[in-house]
Amino acid sequence: MSDTMLACVRKGVDQLAMEQIPIPTIQEPTDVILKVRLAAICGTDVHFLELPIPDITMGHEVVGEIDELGDKVEGYQKGDRVVMSCMLACGKCAACLQGEPSACIGPGGKVQHGLLMHGCQAEYVRVPHAPNSICKIPDSLTDEQAILAGDIFSTGMGVLERVPMRTGDTIAIFALGPLGLCTVKAARALGAGKVIGVDPDPLRRETAEKMGANVTIDPGEGDPVAKIMGETDGFGVDISVEAVGLAENLQAAFKSARIGGAISSLGVYGFATQELPIPLQTGTPVPDAFYHRKFLTTLCPSGHFRLKRLLDLMEYGKLDFSPLWTNSFPLEKTIEGYETFRDHSKKAIKIGIKP
């Protein structure tokens, strides 16, 4: 067998190349090497391209088969089909032991593939801290369902769970990219009342309605905050979610949340952005200010048991994510996949990459 593989490698700011690089090998006894079955392109990959870090393989969303296991990886065998959490966790540090693995402060924790270590848009990928970072996939779930538990469905659930959302809460979601759409699905799965989605792209609004949104708003057709107020009897929503990383959307999310409600931010605002303005006058009824609201940000909740619970929810709750998956590219065409992901005229939402 050859000891090199095809990988989509970042070559500095906004540059990608398909290259042959060495196949990863076990470095630590808690590592596994996955033979990639499905990788995906995330909005965060596009942000990573802003950084001048050369020669790192892209990608942090993956389903693969175990090809090699370290000595301390118990309960798995070669050939097992698994999904990986996109934030790695050591399982031993103070953050992990307190149930916050996404905030891991241990060695090699909170590291993302495709940022500081080689990612999964390749034939093989190394997964450190595997016992805390992977989970076997039940036969009834497809790769396309399971991969979402590793990043965007976990994040979409997490943004509501951290508030925490109550049964029947009214939710507004600013941006209906794959992450916003997974947040729509999460709101439904958690028992939301009215779910309102905001996005300029008609395909994304239509997809949100298929995935459980009751009302969708085109921000190009007038102030979405005024429309959200109209949908909530002038009261505002219980939870407003920022899911793209635009300062004006965060402002609109503040202005749409009722007094006592929550603003929960998921979007990555870009590495050049240092500060975000928060509006003091929200435009909602008395008192007309931002006081007495919760403001949270969320990183993707991760870890073996997080994956297990989300896979169980997908399996027994029969969650349908099929409207998300618009395109699939063979690994050798990953760069075309990125071009399609970034060009909304190509009518693509979530893009799979298959070696």
Instruction: Determine contact, residues 141/63, Cβ cutoff 8 Å.
Output: no
| Closer of 35 and 188 to ligand NAD (Cβ) | 188
| Closer of 70 and 158 to ligand NAD (Cβ) | 158
Judged by beta carbon distances under 5 to 8 A according to partner kind, the member of ligand NAD, Zn ion, none in contact with residue 109 is Zn ion
| Closer of 6 and 241 to ligand NAD (Cβ) | 241
Contact window for Zn ion (CB under 5 A) among 7-15, 44-52, 167-175, 222-230: 44-52
Query: With binding defined as CB under 5 A, does residue 90 bind Zn ion?
Result: yes
Contact window for Zn ion (CB under 5 A) among 89-97, 200-208, 287-295, 310-318: 89-97
Residue 67 CB, shortest distance to ligand NAD, in Å, is 27
Residues binding ligand NAD (CB under 6 A): 42-44, 47, 151-152, 155, 174-180, 198-201, 204, 219, 243-246, 249, 266-268, 298-300
Residue 90 CB, shortest distance to Zn ion, in Å, is 4
Residue 71 CB, shortest distance to ligand NAD, in Å, is 32
Contact window for Zn ion (CB under 5 A) among 83-91, 218-226, 256-264, 313-321: 83-91
| Closer of 6 and 95 to ligand NAD (Cβ) | 95
State the Cα–Cα distance between residues 186 and 153, nearest whole angstrom.
7
Query: With binding defined as CB under 5 A, does residue 106 bind Zn ion?
Result: yes
| Closer of 64 and 267 to ligand NAD (Cβ) | 267
SS3 for the chain is CCCEEEEEEEECCCCEEEEEEECCCCCCCCCEEEEEEEEEECHHHHHHCCCCCEEEECCCCEEEEEEEECCCCCCCCCCCEEEECCCCCCCCCHHHHCCCHHHCCCCCCCCCECCCECCCCECEEEECCHHHHEEECCCCCCHHHHHHHHCHHHHHHHHHHCCCCCCCCCEEEECCCHHHHHHHHHHHHCCCCCEEEECCCHHHHHHHHHCCCCEEECHHHCCHHHHHHHHCCCCCEEEEEECCCCHHHHHHHHHHEEEEEEEEECCCCCCCCCCCCCCCCCCCCCCCCCCCCEEEECCCCCCHHHHHHHHHHHHHCCCCCHHHEEEEEEHHHHHHHHHHHHCHHHCCCEEEEEC
Residue 209 CB, shortest distance to ligand NAD, in Å, is 14
| Closer of 48 and 124 to ligand NAD (Cβ) | 48
| Closer of 84 and 229 to Zn ion (Cβ) | 84
Query: With binding defined as CB under 5 A, does residue 104 bind Zn ion?
Result: yes
Query: With binding defined as CB under 5 A, does residue 96 bind Zn ion?
Result: yes
- List residues binding Zn ion (CB under 5 A): 42, 44, 89-90, 93, 96, 104, 106, 109, 151
